[in-house]
Amino acid sequence: MRYLSTRGHAPVLDFEAVVLAGLASDGGLYVPENFPQVTPQQLASWRSLSYTGLALEVMHPYVGNALTRDELKSLIDGAYASFRHSAIAPLKQLGDDQWLLELFHGPTLAFKDFALQLLGPMVDFFLKRADQKVVVVGATSGDTGSAALAGMRGRARIQSFILFPHGRVSDVQRRQMTTMTDVNIHNIAVEGTFDDCQDIVKSLFADAAFRNAHNLVAVNSINWARILAQVVYYFYAALRLGAPSQAVSFCVPTGNFGDIYAGYVAKQMGLPIDRLIIASNRNNILTRGLNTGTYKMQGVQPSLSPSMDIQISSNFERLLFDLYGRDAPALEGAMIDLRTSGSQTLSAAAWAGLKQDFDAHCVEDDETLQTIRRIYDQTGELLDPHTAVGIASAQACNTRTPLVTLATAHPAKFPDAVKQASSIHPALPPHLANLFDLPERFDILPNARDAVASYIESQKI
């Protein structure tokens, strides 16, 4: 399998190179040159597979010669061994044709573990084979950091530097990162906002000399391997609800558009998905874009679902590439418009294509809280605020098929919002019960690129 950049200038790469590259050198994102097709007969035969068996079938065609089937199988088996539910991604019925896909049984309690428990060991495997070392640098507003670190801790070939905004992540989120005290882990609290952290990371990656000197690797959600790992659970849920003879719809709490784009990939491969519902909080650029055909930036407003407080959804570019008929120059023009004018109007064909597969809905915080309360009263399930945005959106959209909402985080990850809604303080699961007793290790740095750069140089082993 070969991978192309959405902007058309970066070199065509194989799977291994794409995993280690992250972002393409022309500023675009890598996508596979085609989506391998799965027939209804094949789908039917996959029904009896376990989660990890299915993951092997779904992912193998994308990996090409980068890994043998056995190598991929052992990476997959290792990645999901730490999940605390034997189904890995259990489905729970909430009502008639309403389902919840619980994606929070991994070590850090958010769906990001599905990708990052695999990505860390996979990168490590490639590094051992090539006898190389890398430095991972990333910014987090909360969930990505702990999931990324959990996948990389203790791996001597990967030094990991995660930047988070000092005093602006929840205590649970901070402690999930800072109580990992392995020597290859470096937590940096930046005296600034999440956007400041991200700007620092971007500027380090944009500095070719720094990037090459330290072999920087990006593990944010633009990394293709993360998307690929997430495609699997769409297959898993749909097969359990009757695919291929029954079509299924999905509602996905969305920030960077990575998780829902994985659903789109599953559909392109032949999985019978009817609607894909983009669920947003008040940061609703995607809802407005789908309704009006104009994708317009508006600044980020904080909400009770902070992992979705995003202005620009990076992975949306991957979908746009297809909506523009894979015409890289046309897409590049549109992305430059967005950067320079803060707004991008879709072509008529692209807008129609978007509406063909997707619906969109956005939810304010008061409705998020009411949804947590109502679902708890009706079913006894406690939802985290991101999942509640999904459930509220699912209930606002009519589908003719079973509708699966992705439960993206465990309620104990966002105890304040859950308590505000339900008066219940959600308990951390047993493996994290001592989180507030463990020592923390992190360094506070000023909001300055050079301070972070010299910290990385001084700490790197």
List the catalytic residues: 112
* 408 and 386 Cβ atoms separated by less than 8 Å: yes
- DSSP H/E element including 368: helix 365-379
Find the shortest distance in angstroms from Cβ 308 to ligand PLP.
Answer: 5
Q: Which is nearer to ligand PLP, 224 or 257 (CB)?
A: 257
Of the listed pieces 118-126, 158-166, 247-255, 438-446, which binds ligand PLP according to CB under 6 A? 247-255
Q: Which of 201, 219, 139, 193 is nearest to 453 (CA)?
A: 201
Minimum distance between the CB of residue 85 and ligand PLP, rounded to whole angstroms? 17
According to CB under 6 A, which residues from 130 to 149 bind ligand PLP?
A: 143
| Token reading at 460 | 């790197």
Which of 220, 256, 371, 393 is in the footprint of ligand PLP by CB under 6 A? 256
Q: Is 112 an interacting residue with respect to ligand PLP (CB under 6 A)?
A: yes
DSSP SS3 for 93 = strand
For ligand PLP, which stretch binds (CB under 6 A), given 71-79, 255-263, 332-340, 444-452? 255-263
**Of 23-31, 166-174, 257-265, 445-453, which part binds ligand PLP (CB under 6 A)?**
257-265
Residue 271: CB minimum distance to ligand PLP, A: 18
Question: By rule CB under 6 A, what count of residues binds ligand PLP?
Answer: 16
d(CA 114, CA 373) in angstroms, rounded, equals 28
Cα 299 to its chain centre, rounded Å, is 21
Q: What is the token pair recorded at 187?
A: 């937590």
Positions in 372-391 near ligand PLP (CB under 6 A): 386
Span from 250-258, 323-331, 342-350, 432-440 in contact with ligand PLP (CB under 6 A): 250-258
Using the rule CB under 6 A, is 254 a contact of ligand PLP? yes
Contacts with 450 (C-beta within 8 Å, 6 or more apart), sequence order? none
**What is the closest distance, in whole angstroms, from the C-beta atom of residue 427 to ligand PLP in the complex?**
18
- Which of positions 167-226 make contact with ligand PLP (CB under 6 A)? 221
Which residue in 289, 408, 412, 421 binds ligand PLP (CB under 6 A)?
A: 408
Rounded Cα–Cα distance for residues 299 and 85 (Å): 38
Strand order in the sheet with 358-362: 91-95, 98-102, 403-407, 248-253, 273-280, 358-362
Give the residue with the Cβ less far from ligand PLP, 104 or 210.
104
Out of 58, 110, 362, 388, the only residue in the binding site for ligand PLP (CB under 6 A) is 110
Q: Which of 409, 418, 421, 428 binds ligand PLP (CB under 6 A)?
A: 409
Is 129 strand, coil or helix?
helix
The answer to whether residues 43 and 270 touch, using CB atoms and an 8 Å cutoff, is: yes
| Beta carbon nearer to ligand PLP, 127 or 362 | 362
- By CB under 6 A, name the one of 94, 222, 308, 421 that touches ligand PLP: 308
Q: Give Cα 179 to chain centroid, integer Å.
A: 23
C-alpha Rg value of the chain to the nearest Å:
21
For every residue of 99-123, DSSP letters joined together read EEEE---STTSBTHHHHHHHHHHHH
Rounded to whole angstroms, the Cα distance separating 387 from 254 reads 10
| Shorter beta-carbon distance to ligand PLP: residue 229 or 409 | 409
∠ at Cα 415 (414, 418), nearest 5°?
90
CA angle 254, 372, 376 (to 5 degrees): 135
125 vs 358 by CB, closer to ligand PLP:
358
Residues 289, 446: Cα–Cα separation, whole Å: 36
Nearer to ligand PLP, 84 or 400 (CB): 84
Residue 297: CB atoms within 10 Å: 14
Q: Which of 20, 394, 357 is nearest to 212 (CA)?
A: 20
Which one of residues 257, 316, 324, 376 is an interface residue with ligand PLP (CB under 6 A)? Answer: 257
CB of 117 or CB of 184, closer to ligand PLP: 117
Helix and strand totals (H; E) in the chain: 19, 15
**Closest distance between ligand PLP and the C-beta of residue 6, in Å?**
17
Nearer to ligand PLP, 125 or 264 (CB): 264
In angstroms, what is the minimal distance from the CB of 106 to ligand PLP? 11
Residue 309 interacts with ligand PLP (CB under 6 A)?
no
Give residue for tokens 């809280």: 369
**Is 410 a residue that touches ligand PLP (CB under 6 A)?**
no
Binding site for ligand PLP (CB under 6 A): 110, 112, 143, 221, 253-259, 307-308, 386, 408-409
